[in-house]
Amino acid sequence: MIRRIDALLMIALAVICLLSGAARAQQSPLNPQRLPTEKNTLIVYLSRTGNTRSIAEMIQQKVGGRLVALELQTPYPEDYHATVQQVVRENETGYLPPLKTKIDNMEQYGFVFVGFPTWAMQLPPPIKSFLHQYDLKGKTVIPFNTNAGYGPGSSFQTVRVLCPQSKVLEGFSTRGGVERDGQLLAIKDARADEARKEVESWLRTIGMLE
């Protein structure tokens, strides 16, 4: 009788252990989200008036990583209207302006933040050049955007199209300046404090911050 009770107790303990293990497995994801680190994170951005650069710097302050400004071999005209006309032609013809910026050891980066302003409600041609030039297969791509109040347009969708073998996370978009009206750097002072909170909230939402 005692042996039978001992056997039943051993079975009961085994069942409890199994149930406990199953509960822990449900609480802990099998594939937890990796967080970016200083060494595996690249923050690439295009900024004409400084607003996108401000957001890029805020991201770097939160997650670390290497900050790289994209520059062209032949810069756009300083005149706003001349630049608008040139960008329209580039979008119509599919022209990809050559980049002056070179990024070595791209394979070391697992997370690539890509920042840009909205130009003609589209992804700026220099960003298209970057996404065509570098192989981002298997990487996590995170777009961020500044605009004149009209949103990112089709830019986030274009990033997804140009990165078919990357994991593209939800993008960030916020209002910057309005160069057409002479308003250049807008993300400063109180507006910068507000944008910093927006960036932190977004990074937590997409799992880039604990």
User: Does the pLDDT of residue 6 top 50, yes or no?
Assistant: no
Residue 70 lies in a domain: yes
Instruction: Please tell me whether residues 6 and 63 are part of one structural domain.
Output: no
Task: Determine the structural domain holding residue 101 and report its residue range.
Answer: 33-205
pLDDT tens, 142-182? 999 999 999 999 999 999 999 999 999 999 999 998 888 88
In the three-class reduction of DSSP (H, G, I as helix; E, B as strand; rest coil), residue 50 is classed as coil
Residue 137 lies in a domain: yes
CATH number at residue 86: 3.40.50.360
Instruction: Please tell me whether residues 74 and 92 are part of one structural domain.
Output: yes
Instruction: Please tell me whether residues 52 and 154 are part of one structural domain.
Output: yes
42 CB-near residues (< 8 Å, 6+ apart): 65, 66, 68, 103, 106, 109, 111, 112, 113
Instruction: Please tell me whether residues 69 and 11 are part of one structural domain.
Output: no
Residue 210 lies in a domain: no
**What whole-number distance in Å separates Cα of residue 17 and Cα of residue 14?**
5
Instruction: Please tell me whether residues 122 and 171 are part of one structural domain.
Output: yes
Give Cα 28 distance to the centre of its chain.
Answer: 26
pTM of structure = 0.83
Instruction: Please tell me whether residues 161 and 114 are part of one structural domain.
Output: yes
pLDDT tens, 37-59? 878 999 999 999 999 999 999 99
**What whole-number distance in Å separates Cα of residue 164 and Cα of residue 136?**
9
Instruction: Please tell me whether residues 92 and 11 are part of one structural domain.
Output: no
Residue 98 lies in a domain: yes
